[in-house]
Structure 1
Amino acid sequence: MESTAASILTRAVEMDKKEQYTLALVLYQEGLQILLDSMKDLKDPTKKEHFHSKANQYFKRAEDVKTMIKKKKEEGKYREQMRIEAGSVGHGYNSLFGRFLDATVTHVRIEDPYIRAYHQCLNLVRLCELAVQKCSSLSKVSLITTQDPEDGNNQRKRLEELRQSLASRLVTLEFEFSDTLHDRQISLSNGWVIKIGRGLDYFKPPEGKFILGACDLDLRPCLETTIDIFHKSHLEKSF
């Protein structure tokens, strides 16, 4: 448990230095909980005092980060940017932005011109699965995309099937087609906006049907893309 806590807290510091503060905060909290749990069984008073001192340092930094995030959100100045390198792994939807999906989210709005092909619609299903699991108050998902000029009927059938599935969870899916849509972003009713350069389709195709990454996107190599995350308090009122 001690080595696990050390690994998580080390990564928290790395994310902190990269100014990916929301991820750093999640890691600080997770690492601290494991560290505190491991301290309960310690018998060595010197070691226990050492870990207690370390825990206090990390806790103070976590509180500072939390305060800073809150202040910048209120000022409309909070922003995180990151780059996903080509071929890198560990960037599934939950890892990338799952920390923003919580009980305060009632509406998820997706703007992505390429929710057309089978695998792209499947990416949308994966996002909806994540939202349903993490957002206990979710009531609506909205999608704006472009219509597939070659296979529009199947595109619509897939979206209609997803609509029916979400309805069984008391979540409404609304979708519309736009001929001019270019931007790609996910807007959450709690004010968070996630802009992904490639939209939801930033993964390389799996090289087989029965290999690691075929199902779990965290294990699938990515295409190079950029992520821009920011908070707009006025979004909470417009949803």
Structure 2
Amino acid sequence: MSGAGSSGTAALERAGAETVKRAVQLDVACRFQESLVCYQEGIDLLLQVVKDGKYHKQIRIEENATGFGYEKLFHKYLTEIVSEVWVEDPYIRQLYNFLRFCEMLVKGPCKVKKIHLLTSCDQGSRSEQRVALEGIKQSLSNYGVTLSIEFSSSIHDREIRFNNGWMIKIGRGLDYFKKPQGHFSIGYCDLDLRPCHETTVDIFHTKHTKQM
């Protein structure tokens, strides 16, 4: 975002967030009528941010930063109406990370039924890649989720899209976590505790982009 338009959008976003925060405080204090008014005003302000056609949020993940597990990064955008997800990433090589992403989708609160993966073929371990992806596909089917897998030799961009209109672009794709120091080191299981590589996350609403 840039210029007067972006500053106006930022101001709306801040005002909306502060109003919702005030609504929560009133709710806790059992002042329900006042909290309802604040909730409505806050939501209206935040909807204006989306409707003005300039929504763009950027998150900078610093080298060795922690606290950026998938649920923390995506939960705001995985609303209950999300039923279909597109993942485009030419270099998904840490397939356990893709599996963790799928696990997050299965847990909800979204009701995902279809996941589309577009990636490139790993020439170094093609058979292992296909076996792993087929394993994830079969496991997802046990939860009523269909995984479609396509390979492309020309794909370059990395992005994740939800059918509620949100698009997330991560510079390193899903593989922005560093390797754990060992199988029994903190952060091996909990990605919130895993140090990250430096990367940038850009979040858009696709209503205001040329795609989709």
Question: TM-score per shorter chain, which class?
Answer: 0.7 to 0.9
1:188 alignment partner in structure 2: 162
1:11 alignment partner in structure 2: none
Partner of 1:181, secondary structure, is coil
Partner of 1:114, secondary structure, is coil
What is the RMSD of the two structures over their aligned residues, measured on CA atoms? Answer: 3.0
1:94 alignment partner in structure 2: 71
**TM-score, reference length from structure 2:** 0.81
1:25 Cα deviation after fit: 4.5
Tell whether 2:41 aligns with 1:67.
no
Pair member with larger Rg: 1
- State the one-letter code of the partner of 2:141: A
Distance 2:63 2:119 in 1: 25
Distance 2:58 2:110 in 1: 28
1:134/1:25 Cα in 2 relative to 1: closer, same or farther (>3 Å)? farther
Match for residue 204 of structure 1 among 178, 182, 205: 178
Q: What whole-Å deviation, never above 9, does each CA across 1:47-69 have from its counterpart, x for those lacking one? A: xxxxx8xxx79x84x76553333
Count, aligned residues = 197
2:82 alignment partner in structure 1: 105
1:133 alignment partner in structure 2: 107
- State the one-letter code of the partner of 1:103: E
Tell whether 2:202 aligns with 1:228.
yes
1:168 alignment partner in structure 2: 142
* Runs of 5+ consecutive residues of structure 1 not aligned to the other structure: 1-17, 41-51
- State the one-letter code of the partner of 1:78: Y
**TM-score, reference length from structure 1:** 0.72
Partner of 2:135, secondary structure, is helix
1:153 alignment partner in structure 2: 127
1:77 alignment partner in structure 2: 54
Superposition pairs of residues 116-127 of structure 1, within 5 angstroms: 116=93, 120-127=94-101
Q: What whole-Å deviation, never above 9, does each CA across 1:185-228 have from its counterpart, x for those lacking one? A: 10000000000000001111111111211011100111100010
Distance 1:64 1:207 in 2: 48
1:72/1:210 Cα in 2 relative to 1: closer, same or farther (>3 Å)? same
**Kindly, what percent of the aligned residue pairs are identical?**
43
1:65/1:173 Cα in 2 relative to 1: closer, same or farther (>3 Å)? same
Distance 2:63 2:86 in 1: 27
Q: Residue 54 of structure 2 contacts residue 208 of structure 2 at CA under 8 Å; is this kept in 1? A: no
Q: What whole-Å deviation, never above 9, does each CA across 1:22-42 have from its counterpart, x for those lacking one? A: 9x949x55x9647744x46xx
Q: Which has the higher helix share?
A: 1
1:142 alignment partner in structure 2: 116
Q: Residue 110 of structure 1 contacts residue 185 of structure 1 at CA under 8 Å; is this kept in 2? A: yes
